[in-house]
Amino acid sequence: MRRSIAFISILILAVFAVTACAHTSQNTEATKPAAEATEAPAPAAEATEAPTPAAEAGNETTPAAEAAEAPTPAAEATEAPAPAAEKADATEETEMNETTGTFEAVYLGVLNYGAEETNKDNKDDFSYRFEIDGGERIFKVDNGTKNAEGKYDYTIQNSLKEGYAYTITVEDGKVVATQETEAAQAAFTPVVQGTPGEKTLANFLRTALEPVGTTLYIYGGGWDWQDEGSAVQARMFGVSPDWVRFFGSKDENYTFKAKDGNDALKDPATSYYPYGGYNEYYYAGLDCSGFVGWALYNTMETEELQEGYVGGATGFAKRLAAKGWGTWTQDIKAPDGQNGYEMKPGDIMSINGHVWVSLGTCEDGSVVIIHSTPSKSRAGARWRIRTGCKRCGRRKCWSFCLNKNAKGSVPLTQYQERSPQCCNRSSVNPSSRS
C-alpha cells in the first residue's frame, strides 16, 4: 500500500522547492555459453555402467546400438520441446499480432510498468494490458500522428486511464480507436466556484480554490502522457471527475512516490511517480504547474480543449509575463512584517522546481498561498519561516515556509477588477498591477 495523502491546499507562507529524482540503474543480463547449455553424450564404453540420472540417460547408447548402425538417438532426432513459458509467450504474441475486432475492455496499464526498460526512450514501442471477457490481453496502441518535429501526439494514450472501461477497436493486434464507456462521475460540488472565461483576479482566485479537498498531488498530473504539455483534464472547465474518482479510491496510506517520503522504500512497479519519464497517471491529480496551468486556463479561456498553460515550474512566471500578464522580477525580499515587502493576491511565484499562487500577506509577514504539493498526511506540513537558503544561505535561494503563528485572511471581492499577474522569485510591485 502507498502511504501519505496530499491535497491542493491553502497554506500560510508554505513554499519549498520540489526536486525530481531521476531513477537510473543498469540492467545487465548474462547468457550461458552454448557449450555449457548441453552435456556431451556419454561414451559407449560407459553404457554398461550403473544407471545414470534421468538428465543424462537420454544421451546414452546401448550395446545393441553399437552392434549395428546406431539409429539417431531420440533426443537428437527431434528438437527439445520449448518450455511452457516460451510456448505461452509465443502464443500470446501470435494472438496479439493477429487480433482484429471491436471489444469491450478495461484498461490495465502499460506492460512491465516500472521496469528499467519501460521508459520514454522506447515509449513508441510499448505494449498495453487490457482485460477482455475476464482475461488479460496484450496489444500495441497506435501512437497517433507526427508533427513537424517528427513527434507523435499519442492521442489514444492521452485518453487511457487505468481501471476505466472502453470500447476498443483492434486491427492486427494494435488498438486504433477507443471510446470510454464508463465515465467517472464527480460527486463533488466545490464550496467556492469560479466562472470559466471571467478574466478578473477574484475569479482566478475563486477558481484556484475549487480542487481543494478533492484532488491529490500527482507528479506529472495535469501534464500530458508524453510529458510535453497540458493534459486533457487541464484544458477542461471545472474539477475533473477523474481527480475526484482517484481521490475517492485512496486513503491515508497513499503516496505519490515512496512510503513516508523515504527513497529507500521506493518501488517503481507500484509507484505513481513517473520513473520512466512519461506520465502514466496524468489524469489522476495535479502537480504544482499542472494546478496553476489549470486555474489559468479556467480563467482565461472560453472554450475547452484549446492550447493549455501547463509548463515547467521554474520558468512559469516568466512565460506569463511574456504574455503581458504582469511584471517579472527577481528582486526578492522575504516578507517579515517590517520591511514593507508583501505579496499581493494573485501574484504567481516561481522558484526552482515549484510554482504557487499568493492569496496575500498577513501583518506579521506571513503569506497565504495556494498550491499543489506533496505531504506525508492529510494535515500537511508545518514549518517556520527561514531567511535564506538552508544549504548555501544566499539570498537568491530564499525559501518561504509556513509560520505556525500567522493568521489573517484576504477578502477576494476587494480585487474584483484586477487581472492575474505573475512574478519570479518575487512579488509584483502593486504599482505595476493592472
pLDDT at position 394, please?
29
Each residue of 29-76: pLDDT tens digit? Answer: 333 333 343 344 444 434 344 444 334 333 443 434 444 344 444 444
The verdict on residue 226 lying in a domain is yes
Question: Which 8-state DSSP code applies to residue 415?
Answer: G
Is residue 55 in a domain?
no
Kindly state whether residues 196 and 168 are assigned to the same domain. no
Specify the 3-state DSSP secondary structure of 335: coil
Q: What is the pLDDT of residue 374?
A: 84
Confidence band (pLDDT; 50, 70, 90) for 95? low
- Please, how many CA atoms are within 13 Å of residue 379, restricted to the half-sphere of its CB? 3
Whole-number pLDDT of residue 50: 42
| pLDDT reported for residue 363 | 83
| C-alpha–C-alpha distance, residues 170 and 159, integer Å | 16
- What pLDDT, on a 0 to 100 scale, did the predictor assign at position 376? 59
pLDDT in tens, 282-322: 999 999 999 999 999 999 999 999 999 999 999 999 999 99
Tell me: do 233 and 273 sit in the same domain.
yes
Domain assignment of residue 154, given as a range = 85-180
Say yes or no: 173 and 195 in one domain. Answer: no
Number of domains in the chain: 2
Model pLDDT, residue 158: 98
| CA 51 to mean position of chain CA atoms | 60
> Residue 19, SS3?
coil
What pLDDT sits at residue 303?
A: 98
Instruction: Please state, rounded to an integer, the average pLDDT across all residues of the chain.
Output: 73
Three-state DSSP at 182 gives: coil
Highest mean pLDDT among 8-17, 189-198, 369-378, 409-418: 189-198
Is the pLDDT at 352 greater than 50? The verdict is: yes
Q: Is residue 406 part of a domain?
A: yes
* 105 plus 225 within the same structural domain: no
365 in the same domain as 258: yes
The mean pLDDT of 11-28, rounded to a whole number, is 32
Confidence band, pLDDT 50/70/90 cuts, at residue 183: low
Q: In this predicted model, what pLDDT tens digit does every residue of 231-276 receive, in sequence order?
A: 999 999 999 999 999 999 998 788 888 877 788 888 999 999 999 9
Last residue within a domain, chosen from 180, 214, 235: 180
98 lies in the same domain as 138: yes
CA–CA dist 70, 63 (Å, integer): 10
* Positive/negative CA dihedral, 5, 6, 9, 15: positive
Which of residues 127, 145, 180 is at a domain's end? 180
pTM of this structure:
0.70
Domain-ending residue, one of 157, 180, 203: 180
Considering the domain boundaries, does residue 74 fall inside one?
Answer: no
The CATH number assigned to the domain holding 112 equals 2.40.50
> Would residue 419 count as lying in a domain?
yes
Question: Is residue 2 situated within a structural domain?
Answer: yes
109 and 8, same domain (yes or no): no
* Orientation angle between helical segments 288-300 and 201-209, nearest 10 degrees: 130
Q: What pLDDT is stored for residue 340 in this prediction?
A: 78
What pLDDT is recorded for position 392? 32
Quote the pLDDT of residue 243: 95
Residue 133 maps to a domain: yes
Contact 315, 323 (CB under 8 A): no
| Residues 191 and 264 grouped into a single domain | yes
Residue 37 lies in a domain: no
